[in-house]
Structure 1
């Protein structure tokens, strides 16, 4: 059997975005509360009964959250353009090699936008 563990977190951040629709507001610095969920999959270790120690997952997720929370996303060079897609990829890259990430979801609850990256 394969199990999926998840850890959710949120962060507040500002950004600008050059886009064709809703252009004027997007070009100005504005902020959102972003929600994110990281998933890992696996088979529980017979000795521990766990796929992954959730304390480890929380610690690694918190380190990524600190890189994003209360930041101007435009100023994070490894992020690229501050889109939902790039936020998913950024989170996945920073967790790679630390935890066996299988998906990352980022969404903005207040306006209903979201993105799911499946690895």
Structure 2
């Protein structure tokens, strides 16, 4: 059997965004509370009874959070344009360094109802 196990985290950050619709408000410096979730898939290790130790996943996500929380996303190295899509890709690239078998990375903003899911093979 294959399981998917996940851990959520949040971060507060500011950014600007150039776009055609809602252009004026997006171009001004503004912030959001973001929610993130990283899912790992695999089989249960018979010795541990776990797909992955959630403590290790929380440690990893704490490192990701440090790079994003209370930062200006426009200035985060390696992020690119601070869109939900690029946040998912940034988190996925960082989390992939752990060796975990990632199945999904999600980023959303409850306050305005936006969400992005990056599904990985």
> Residue deviations 1:49-94, cap 9 Å, x none?
1101111000001100110000000001300000000000000000
List structure 1 runs of 4+ shifted beyond 4 angstroms: none
Structure 2 residue ranges without an equivalent (≥5): none
Query: What SS does the corresponding residue of 2:78 show, helix, strand or coil?
Result: coil
Cα RMSD after superposing both structures:
0.6
Structure 1 residue ranges without an equivalent (≥5): none
Partner residue, 2:15: 15
Give the count of matched residue pairs: 119
Partner residue, 1:60: 60
Partner residue, 2:82: 82
Query: What SS does the corresponding residue of 1:71 show, helix, strand or coil?
Result: coil
Partner residue, 1:100: 101
How far residue 100 of structure 1 moved from its aligned partner, in angstroms, is: 1.9
How far residue 10 of structure 1 moved from its aligned partner, in angstroms, is: 0.3
How far residue 9 of structure 1 moved from its aligned partner, in angstroms, is: 0.4
